[in-house]
Protein backbone atom coordinates (compact mmCIF):
# COMPACT_ATOMS: atom_id res chain seq x y z
CA UNK A 1 0.00 0.00 0.00
CA UNK A 2 1.08 3.52 -0.75
CA UNK A 3 1.59 6.23 1.83
CA UNK A 4 -1.46 8.44 2.36
CA UNK A 5 -1.45 11.77 4.14
CA UNK A 6 -4.62 12.12 6.22
CA UNK A 7 -5.81 15.50 7.43
CA UNK A 8 -8.27 14.81 10.23
CA UNK A 9 -10.36 17.19 12.28
CA UNK A 10 -10.46 16.31 16.00
CA UNK A 11 -14.22 16.97 15.90
CA UNK A 12 -14.70 13.79 13.85
CA UNK A 13 -13.61 11.59 16.74
CA UNK A 14 -16.16 13.30 18.98
CA UNK A 15 -18.93 12.26 16.59
CA UNK A 16 -17.74 8.64 16.58
CA UNK A 17 -17.72 8.68 20.40
CA UNK A 18 -21.41 9.65 20.42
CA UNK A 19 -22.60 6.62 18.44
CA UNK A 20 -24.22 3.79 20.44
CA UNK A 21 -21.80 1.00 21.40
CA UNK A 22 -23.29 -1.47 18.90
CA UNK A 23 -23.23 1.06 16.02
CA UNK A 24 -19.83 2.66 16.50
CA UNK A 25 -17.79 -0.35 15.20
CA UNK A 26 -19.95 -0.50 12.07
CA UNK A 27 -19.49 3.17 11.22
CA UNK A 28 -15.79 2.99 12.10
CA UNK A 29 -15.47 0.04 9.73
CA UNK A 30 -16.80 2.25 6.90
CA UNK A 31 -14.22 4.86 7.90
CA UNK A 32 -11.40 2.30 7.75
CA UNK A 33 -12.66 1.02 4.41
CA UNK A 34 -12.56 4.54 2.96
CA UNK A 35 -9.00 5.07 4.24
CA UNK A 36 -7.84 1.64 3.02
CA UNK A 37 -9.37 2.24 -0.42
CA UNK A 38 -7.71 5.66 -0.66
CA UNK A 39 -4.34 4.06 0.17
CA UNK A 40 -4.86 1.47 -2.57
CA UNK A 41 -5.98 3.99 -5.22
CA UNK A 42 -3.37 5.35 -7.60
CA UNK A 43 -3.29 9.14 -7.70
CA UNK A 44 -4.62 9.70 -4.19
CA UNK A 45 -1.94 11.05 -1.89
CA UNK A 46 -4.11 13.01 0.56
CA UNK A 47 -7.43 12.43 2.26
CA UNK A 48 -9.28 14.98 4.35
CA UNK A 49 -11.51 13.74 7.17
CA UNK A 50 -13.83 16.46 8.43
CA UNK A 51 -17.44 17.11 9.37
CA UNK A 52 -20.10 18.17 6.88
CA UNK A 53 -23.62 18.58 8.21
CA UNK A 54 -22.26 17.16 11.46
CA UNK A 55 -21.35 13.86 9.76
CA UNK A 56 -17.89 12.31 9.21
CA UNK A 57 -16.93 13.24 5.66
CA UNK A 58 -14.05 12.27 3.38
CA UNK A 59 -12.63 14.32 0.51
CA UNK A 60 -9.82 14.07 -2.00
CA UNK A 61 -8.48 16.60 -4.50
CA UNK A 62 -10.27 15.03 -7.49
CA UNK A 63 -13.11 13.32 -5.67
CA UNK A 64 -16.64 13.83 -4.51
CA UNK A 65 -17.43 13.96 -0.80
CA UNK A 66 -18.33 10.71 0.96
CA UNK A 67 -20.23 10.99 4.25
CA UNK A 68 -21.07 8.23 6.72
CA UNK A 69 -23.64 8.26 9.49
CA UNK A 70 -26.21 6.49 11.65
CA UNK A 71 -29.44 8.23 12.63
CA UNK A 72 -31.64 7.63 15.66
CA UNK A 73 -34.80 7.75 13.51
CA UNK A 74 -33.62 4.57 11.71
CA UNK A 75 -31.78 2.68 14.49
CA UNK A 76 -31.27 -0.58 12.56
CA UNK A 77 -29.49 0.99 9.62
CA UNK A 78 -26.53 3.20 8.78
CA UNK A 79 -25.40 4.66 5.47
CA UNK A 80 -22.73 5.98 3.17
CA UNK A 81 -23.83 9.21 1.50
CA UNK A 82 -22.74 10.75 -1.79
CA UNK A 83 -23.52 14.02 -3.55
CA UNK A 84 -27.03 13.62 -4.95
CA UNK A 85 -26.18 15.80 -7.97
CA UNK A 86 -23.40 13.43 -9.04
CA UNK A 87 -23.72 10.28 -11.17
CA UNK A 88 -22.38 8.15 -8.32
CA UNK A 89 -25.45 6.52 -6.75
CA UNK A 90 -27.35 6.20 -10.06
CA UNK A 91 -24.31 4.39 -11.48
CA UNK A 92 -23.90 2.22 -8.37
CA UNK A 93 -27.54 1.20 -8.64
CA UNK A 94 -27.03 0.15 -12.28
CA UNK A 95 -23.94 -1.91 -11.48
CA UNK A 96 -24.88 -3.24 -8.03
CA UNK A 97 -28.69 -3.24 -7.99
CA UNK A 98 -28.79 -6.78 -6.57
CA UNK A 99 -26.02 -6.11 -4.02
CA UNK A 100 -26.94 -2.86 -2.23
CA UNK A 101 -30.03 -1.04 -1.03
CA UNK A 102 -30.13 2.60 -2.10
CA UNK A 103 -31.81 5.73 -0.81
CA UNK A 104 -32.66 7.83 -3.83
CA UNK A 105 -29.64 9.34 -5.55
CA UNK A 106 -27.76 9.98 -2.32
CA UNK A 107 -26.95 6.88 -0.28
CA UNK A 108 -26.11 3.22 0.06
CA UNK A 109 -27.98 1.95 3.12
CA UNK A 110 -26.85 -0.96 5.29
CA UNK A 111 -28.77 -2.93 7.89
CA UNK A 112 -26.94 -3.33 11.18
CA UNK A 113 -27.19 -7.13 10.94
CA UNK A 114 -25.96 -7.51 7.35
CA UNK A 115 -22.54 -8.60 6.17
CA UNK A 116 -21.07 -5.94 3.91
CA UNK A 117 -20.01 -6.81 0.35
CA UNK A 118 -16.50 -5.39 0.76
CA UNK A 119 -15.15 -5.58 -2.80
CA UNK A 120 -18.25 -3.99 -4.32
CA UNK A 121 -18.28 -1.27 -1.68
CA UNK A 122 -14.60 -0.51 -2.29
CA UNK A 123 -15.35 -0.02 -6.01
CA UNK A 124 -18.02 2.54 -5.08
CA UNK A 125 -15.66 4.31 -2.67
CA UNK A 126 -12.89 4.38 -5.28
CA UNK A 127 -15.26 5.90 -7.86
CA UNK A 128 -16.24 8.63 -5.40
CA UNK A 129 -12.64 9.36 -4.37
CA UNK A 130 -11.72 9.80 -8.07
CA UNK A 131 -15.06 11.17 -9.31
CA UNK A 132 -13.83 14.23 -11.21
CA UNK A 133 -11.36 12.05 -13.13
CA UNK A 134 -13.89 9.32 -14.00
CA UNK A 135 -17.27 11.08 -14.29
CA UNK A 136 -17.01 11.19 -18.09
CA UNK A 137 -16.38 7.42 -18.37
CA UNK A 138 -19.17 4.89 -18.95
CA UNK A 139 -20.20 3.48 -15.57
CA UNK A 140 -17.52 5.73 -14.02
CA UNK A 141 -14.87 3.28 -15.23
CA UNK A 142 -16.05 0.62 -12.77
Q: Please answer whether residues 56 and 69 qualify as being in contact, where contact means their C-beta atoms are separated by less than 8 angstroms.
A: yes
Q: What is the reported pTM?
A: 0.94
Domain layout of the chain by residue ranges: 5-131
Between 64 and 3, whose confidence is greater? Answer: 64
27 φ/ψ angles, rounded to the nearest 5 degrees = -70, -35
Q: What is the mean pLDDT of residues 105-126?
A: 96
Say if residues 106 and 66 touch (Cβ distance below 8 Å).
no
Query: How far is residue 41's CA from residue 35's CA, in Å, rounded to a whole number?
Result: 10
**What is the Cα–Cα distance from 80 to 108, expressed in whole angstroms?**
5
pLDDT class of 142 with cuts at 50, 70, 90: confident
Q: What is the pLDDT of residues 95-110, one digit of tens each?
A: 999 999 999 999 999 9
Residues sharing a CB contact under 8 Å with residue 70, sequence separation 6 or more, in sequence order:
19, 20, 23, 26, 27, 77, 78, 79
pLDDT for res 29 = 97
The arithmetic mean of pLDDT across residues 55-76, rounded, is 96
pLDDT in tens, 1-60: 568 999 999 999 999 999 999 999 999 999 999 999 999 999 999 999 999 999 999 999
What is the C-alpha to C-alpha distance for residues 137 and 55, in angstroms, rounded to an integer? 29
Assigned architecture for domain 5-131: Alpha-Beta Complex (3.90)
CA distance 89 to 2: 27
Q: How confident is the model at residue 141 (pLDDT cuts 50, 70, 90)?
A: confident
Average pLDDT over residues 78-100: 95
Amino acid sequence: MRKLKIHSSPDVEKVFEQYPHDIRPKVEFLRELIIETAKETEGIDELTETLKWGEPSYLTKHGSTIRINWKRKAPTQYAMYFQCTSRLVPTFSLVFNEVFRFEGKRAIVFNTDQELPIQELKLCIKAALRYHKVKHLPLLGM
